[in-house]
Each structure stands twice: as C-alpha cells, then as structure tokens.
Structure 1
C-alpha cells in the first residue's frame, strides 16, 4: 500500500461525505496539553465533565493498541439563524448557543467518522480504528492543533482560517502509517478581545479557562446558580457564544454546509414561558435531538426562569408563583422565588410573603428571602 497516495484518496473522499477539514498527526503523547491539564487541575479550573484520568486524555497508546496515526476532522456550523424570531414584551425568548443548533453534533460527526472508517476498511480490510467525538478521552483541540486543522485560540477553541472557530471536531486513531501534517502558526497575535469581554471572567488569560466560571458550563449545572452569575446569564438557556462572536477571525463567517446543522428558530430561540410547564415527554420530543438537551429539562427550565428575571417579564409572574407553590423540585421553586423578587410588583411580593411561611425546604426559604430583599415594603403596594 502506498500510504502517501492513500492519504490523498482519503482527503478527496472526505470532501464527498461532508467533512470540511481533515488533518493527520502522530499518536505521540500530547505533552504540552498534559502540562496544561495538570495545571488546570491544580487550580481547580476543571468543570468535572472531563475524563478524570489525565493520561488517557493525552496518550493515545492507552486507548488503542499500537497506534500509528490520528486523523482529525472538522465540520463547519452556521453562525447566523435565518428568520430568527424576535423577543418582545409578553413573548420573551431564550437562546441556545450555536453548538446546539440542529441535530446533536455528536450524531453528525459520528456519521462522518463511520463513513470514513467504512471507506478505509474497503481499501485496507485489516485496518483498525477508534473514532471519538468530544465525549471521548482525547482532547479534540490538541489533536486538531497538531494535525494542522487550525490553531488553538485564546478563547480555547480551534480557529481555522476558512471557518473561524465555528467548527466541530472529531478524531480517529488508526494503525495505519499516514504521514503527519504540519501544525499551523498561532494566529491570534496581540488580540485579546475574547479575554476582555468574557462575561464572568472565566477566560483567565489567553488559552486558560476557569471552566467553573464559564457560562457554557454554568448553564449545564443542575443546582442553584451561584448569585454572582445570575445577572450575567442573560437569556442564555444553554451555552455561551460571546468569546466566538467577538473574535475577529469569525467576522463575516456563516457556513451552511450541512442540512442537519440548520437551526429550527422555534427550538434554537424558543419562547420562555412554555418551557416552564413542559412535561418530560414534551421536552424530549421537542429538544431531545439537540445537544443542549443532554442534561435534561431542569437546567433549561432554571435558566429560562433566570432569563425571565433578566427581562423583568411581568407576564411571567403568574407562572412563577405557580412554580413556587407546586413544583416538586427545590431548585425550580427557589429560582422562581428569586425571579419574582427581581421582577417585582405587588402580586409577586405577596406570594413571596405567603410562601416564606409555608415552604419547608430551607434552601428555598433562603431564595424566598433573597427575593423579598429586592423589595422596599413601602413601595410594594404601588
């Protein structure tokens, strides 16, 4: 087998199945990434969603017997929504980040990787491969960077010259001796916009992220959102795009190559109030195909309540009182209480006073107290 020619054939085939970029690299350990991950762990900057064993994240040999190469792929996704509905008083809307538009990207990338595996096996029947999307052990970004797909930006995303950072990544470890591609030169230069505008200061410095402060992480947690972040979440239901939207390398980039990634505006930018009374079945039928649904409906509903508080949406008061009164989940009752205080008005004030006496859960009582502190009792009648 002439692996130089075979590599060219794979690159050509990849374009026919909707892979936007492809690169090849060695299976050597990712030493720089290992050092970075150790430092992140020491600083307690990890989210907790990652693979716990750092060695598995950086050493392909621990995941695959005698690897000889890694193939990295990237698929570009849209940055703009066609005919996006407007959020207005009485009909407030939340937003899912771009990485949760359309079909769950794990599904899309696995499809492309599976097709690539099938093609390779048709040419080399005894080939061995192991494919991963970002739930796998390896750090996608480290693989893509070394394979020349893009450079690792200060916003901790891979930035490609063609598609900016609006790309999904996946990789395939193989036992085939493909020649590695050259990594790209770093392209951020002196630009520091992503670090400067990060809403929570999660980007400590270029390339270093405190994941526990990142809104993308916070929107996926299931407990009470810490007070310091409640005013910063805005109307985000899942994820955050700020460090991408401000990036000059993303200016003017909007790629619509993949029909599966096209957003349904009513799902990507949904009305907030209907979310609050949605059953598990309704939620799964409506949102189950998007990546932002993976943690279930509770984080999304909690974030929707915070978004209504952000808008000070008075049309939500009745529903929020109903949640405070009847919802079995303390996080939802408590967040509703806080939001009622934020929105204000006599009806909200009276409800908080009433349920302060009735509530049994002490965390929820604490949230009711926070809600009441938003009021000046003398003004509550106005």
Structure 2
C-alpha cells in the first residue's frame, strides 16, 4: 500500500464532501495535554462534562487497539446572522452562541467522518477507525493542534489561519500509518484581548481556562446560578462568544459554506417571555435540533429569567409572578423571585411578600429574601 498516495487521496476526497480542513497526526500519547489536565484537575478547573479518566483522554492506545495515526477535520461555521431580529422593550430576546446555530454540529461533523471512513475502507479493506466529535475521550483541541489544523489560542480555542476559531472539530483514530503533518506555531503574539475582556475572568492565563467560571459552562448548569454570574450573563441563554468575537484573528471571518449551519433567527435569538411557559413538546419541536438543547429546557428557562432581569423588563413581571406561584421546580421559582426584585415595582413586591408567607423550599426562601432586599436598598436610597 502506497500510504503517501492514500493520504493525498483522502485529502482530495475530504474536499469533495465539504470538509474545510483536514490534518494528520501521530497517535503518540499527548504528554503536554496530560500534564495540563492533571493541573486543571488539581485546581478544580474542569467542567465535569469531560471524560474523567485523564489517561484515556491523552493516550489513544487505551481506547483503540493498535493506533497508527489520527485524522483531524474542521468545518467552518458562520459568525454573522442574516436578518437578525432586534429585541426591544416588551419583546426582549436571548441569544444562543454561534456553536449552536443551525443543526447540531455533532451530527454534521460525525456525518463527514463517517463518509471519510467509508471512503478509506473502500481503498483499504478492513481498516479500523474510532470516530469522535466533542464527546469522545480525546481532547479535540490537542489532536487538531498536533495535526496542523490550527494553533491553540490563549482563549483555549483552535485558531485556523483560514477560518479563525469559527470551526467545529472532529477526529478519527486509525490503524493506518499515515504521515503526520507539521503543527502550526502560535500566532497570538503579545495579544491578550480574550483574557482581558472575559466577563468572569475565567481565562486565568494564556491557554488556561477555569471552566467553573466560564459563562458558557454556567449557562449549561441546572441548579441555581451563583450570584456572581447573574449580572454577567446578559441575554445569553446558551454559551458565550466573547473570547472569540474580540479575537483579531477572527476579524472578517464569516463563512456560509454549509447550509445546515445557517441559523434560524427565531430559534437562536428567541423571544424570552414565551420561554418561561414553553412545554417540553414545544421546546423539543423548536429547539431539539440545535446543540444548545442538549441539557433540556430547564437551563434555558432559568437563563431567560436572568436575561429578563438584566433588561429590567417590566412587561415580564406578570409571567414571572406566575412562575413564582405555580412552577413546581424550586430553581425556577427562586430565580423568578430574584428577578422580580431586580425588576422592581409594586406588583413584583406584592408577589414576593405573598410568596414569602407560603413558600416551603429553603433555597427559594433565600431567593425571595434576595428579591425583597432590592426594595429595601431602593427605599434606603
């Protein structure tokens, strides 16, 4: 088998099926990444969504019998929305991050990997593969960096010269000895804009993220949002793009090459108030095909309440009072109580005083007190 020619054929085929960039890496253990992950674990900086076994995350031989190389791919996604609706008083809108625009990228990237695997198998029968997109054991960023897809930026994203950091990553481990590509050298230079503007200071230093403080992570949690993050959330209801949008390497980067990635403005920038009472069925029908729905409607609804408080949206008071009175979930009732205090007004205060008399959940009681404290502060002022 002429593996040099095979590699050329794979590259050519990848272009024909819409893979925007492809690279090849050795299957050696990722020693530097292992050391970084150990340090992250020691500091408590992990999100908890990752594979917990660091050995499996950094040694391909532990998850694949006889690995010889890894093929990494990247698909470019849009950074700008056409005909984006504008929120206004009485019709406030939330926003899903760009990685949740269009059809769930896990599906799209896996489809490309499967087509690639089928092609390689047709050229080399009995080839073996392990395909991964985001939820696999290996760290996508480490594989992409080694394969020359891009360099690892200070914002912990892979930055490509062609598409900036607006790319989805995927990879496949193979039993084929494909020649590795050269990694790209860091091109961030002295720039540290992403670190300086991170809303919560989650970027501790270049290339090190405290996931527990990252807004993107916080939008995906299901419990009460910690006080320190509520005023930082803005109108984000899933994810955060700040460290990408400020990156000079992303200036002018906006690619609309995959129709499936085009955002439906009413889905990725939805009206906030209807979210408070949306049924499971309607939620799944409207949002089920996007990546931002993977945690269900609860985090989205909680974040919508926080966003309405951010806007101090008076027209939402009636809906929030309904949540406080009738929602069976303590997180929703409690967040609504806090939001009512933040928004203010006679109706909001009355609702909080009434809820204080009947609420049984201790965490919700605490949130009711927080809401009422806003009125005490205003009265004292």
Match of 2:34 in 1: 34
* Cα displacement string for residues 342-365 of structure 1 (whole angstroms, at most 9, x for unaligned residues): 000000001101100110101001
SS in structure 2 at match of 1:143: helix
* Cα displacement string for residues 71-118 of structure 1 (whole angstroms, at most 9, x for unaligned residues): 000000000000000010000000000000000000000100000011
Match of 2:334 in 1: 334
Structure 1 runs, 4 residues or longer, greater than 2 Å off:
376-380
Q: Report whether the alignment pairs 1:195 with 2:195.
A: yes
Q: CA deviation at 1:378?
A: 7.9
Q: Give the unaligned 5+ runs of structure 2.
A: none
* Cα displacement string for residues 18-46 of structure 1 (whole angstroms, at most 9, x for unaligned residues): 10000001000000000000000000000
Q: Give the unaligned 5+ runs of structure 1.
A: none
Match of 1:152 in 2: 152
Q: Report whether the alignment pairs 1:55 with 2:61.
A: no
> For 2:299 and 2:43, how far apart are their aligned partners in 1?
26
Match of 1:316 in 2: 316
SS in structure 2 at match of 1:376: helix
Match of 1:260 in 2: 260
Q: CA RMSD in A?
A: 0.9
Match of 1:10 in 2: 10
Match of 2:162 in 1: 162
Match of 1:79 in 2: 79
> For 2:138 and 2:346, how far apart are their aligned partners in 1?
54
Q: CA deviation at 1:379?
A: 4.9
> For 1:194 and 1:331, how far apart are their aligned partners in 2?
32
SS in structure 2 at match of 1:50: coil
> For 1:18 and 1:308, how far apart are their aligned partners in 2?
40
> For 1:302 and 1:340, how far apart are their aligned partners in 2?
13
> For 1:187 and 1:157, how far apart are their aligned partners in 2?
13
> For 2:129 and 2:48, how far apart are their aligned partners in 1?
28
Q: CA deviation at 1:125?
A: 1.0
Q: CA deviation at 1:202?
A: 0.2
TM-score (norm 2): 0.99
Pairing of 1:111-130 with structure 2 (within 5 A)? 111-130=111-130
Q: Report whether the alignment pairs 1:103 with 2:103.
A: yes
> For 2:207 and 2:74, how far apart are their aligned partners in 1?
20
Pairing of 1:226-237 with structure 2 (within 5 A)? 226-237=226-237
Match of 2:217 in 1: 217
Q: CA deviation at 1:51?
A: 0.3
Match of 2:247 in 1: 247
> For 1:354 and 1:128, how far apart are their aligned partners in 2?
64
Match of 1:138 in 2: 138
> For 1:49 and 1:168, how far apart are their aligned partners in 2?
18
> For 1:92 and 1:330, how far apart are their aligned partners in 2?
24
* Cα displacement string for residues 256-314 of structure 1 (whole angstroms, at most 9, x for unaligned residues): 11111000000010000111110001000110000000000000000000000000000
In structure 2, do the counterparts of structure 1 residues 149 and 377 end up closer, same or farther at CA, with 3 Å as the change threshold?
Answer: closer
Match of 2:171 in 1: 171
Give the number of aligned pairs.
380
TM-score (norm 1): 0.99
SS in structure 2 at match of 1:322: helix
In structure 2, do the counterparts of structure 1 residues 343 and 125 end up closer, same or farther at CA, with 3 Å as the change threshold?
Answer: same
Match of 2:69 in 1: 69
Q: CA deviation at 1:377?
A: 8.2
SS in structure 1 at match of 2:13: helix
> For 1:304 and 1:98, how far apart are their aligned partners in 2?
18
Q: CA deviation at 1:376?
A: 3.4
SS in structure 1 at match of 2:375: coil
SS in structure 1 at match of 2:172: strand
> For 1:191 and 1:162, how far apart are their aligned partners in 2?
19
> For 1:342 and 1:54, how far apart are their aligned partners in 2?
42
In structure 2, do the counterparts of structure 1 residues 378 and 38 end up closer, same or farther at CA, with 3 Å as the change threshold?
Answer: closer
SS in structure 1 at match of 2:318: helix
> For 1:304 and 1:204, how far apart are their aligned partners in 2?
28
SS in structure 1 at match of 2:168: strand
